[in-house]
Amino acid sequence: MSEEGRLSVGLISCSGEACPGGTISRLATQKVLRSIRPGYNFVTICLPLFMAGGEEERNFARDYPTITIDGCEKCCALKATEALSGPVSGKVVVTDLIAKEDIGEGTLSIRELTGEQKAMVDHVAAAILEQVTKIKQEG
């Protein structure tokens, strides 16, 4: 479960082409991935590749604790991961944390995020890290 004494955790984010929450989930996942958190090794799994038949990705999600991050209640990332690799260790759904109407409508460019949306990214990133902590505590 560990690499050089660090806990490897898989992060599978929704794609975000169909809802603005997806952009938030992508960015929050990236934020966690780039964050420096001693003792952890974060690995993102490209969801389309995972679904298109990437065996390495599927095996990783099977063998390591994995958190799905979904933009909306469709929970594409969660459903795909459970179907292809089994139960997840943690899940975050953006619309559970932030009201849909606050996120807005349509697809979002990474470059066009408002200050409020950037704060949403931070909020979701924090929720992902909470799940990470929970996984660590549960051993």
Partner 1 sequence: MAAKYVILPCNGLDKEAGCLARELALKMAAAMDGEIICPVLYQTAPSRYASLLQEGNLIVIDGCATRCASRIAANNNLKISRKITMAEEAKKRDYNPGPDWRLGAGAAAFVEDVWRSWQPVFMEQGAGRASEENTGLFAGPVEYAIHRHDKFIFRVPLEGFYFNENDCWVQVEGNRGRVGISDYLQQNLSDITFVTPPDPGTEVEQFGEMGTIESAKAVYELVSPVTGRVVAINEAVLEAPELINENPYEKGWIAELELTNFEADREFLLDGRRYLEVLKEKVADFNAGK
User: Which one among 24, 77, 120, 129 touches partner 1, defined by CB under 8 A?
Assistant: 77
Record the tokens describing residue 95, joined without a space. 């619309």
User: Which one among 6, 8, 41, 44 touches partner 1, defined by CB under 8 A?
Assistant: 44
The residue (of 108 and 135) whose beta carbon lies closer to partner 1 is 108
61 binds partner 1 (CB under 8 A): no
13 binds partner 1 (CB under 8 A): yes
CA dist 138 to 39, 65, 134, Å? 15, 11, 6
DSSP state of 72: S
41 binds partner 1 (CB under 8 A): no
100 binds partner 1 (CB under 8 A): no
Candidates 108, 90, 97; CA nearest to 72 is: 97
86 binds partner 1 (CB under 8 A): no
Which part of the chain contacts partner 1 (CB under 8 A), choosing from 24-32, 88-96, 97-105, 124-132? Answer: 24-32
Map 7-68 to HEC letters: EEEEEEECCCCCCHHHHHHHHHHHHHHHCCCCCEEEEECCHHHHHHCCHHHHHHHHHCCEEE
Q: Which residues bind partner 1 (CB under 8 A)?
A: 13-18, 22, 26-27, 29-30, 34, 44, 46-49, 51-53, 74, 76-77, 79-80, 107, 109-111
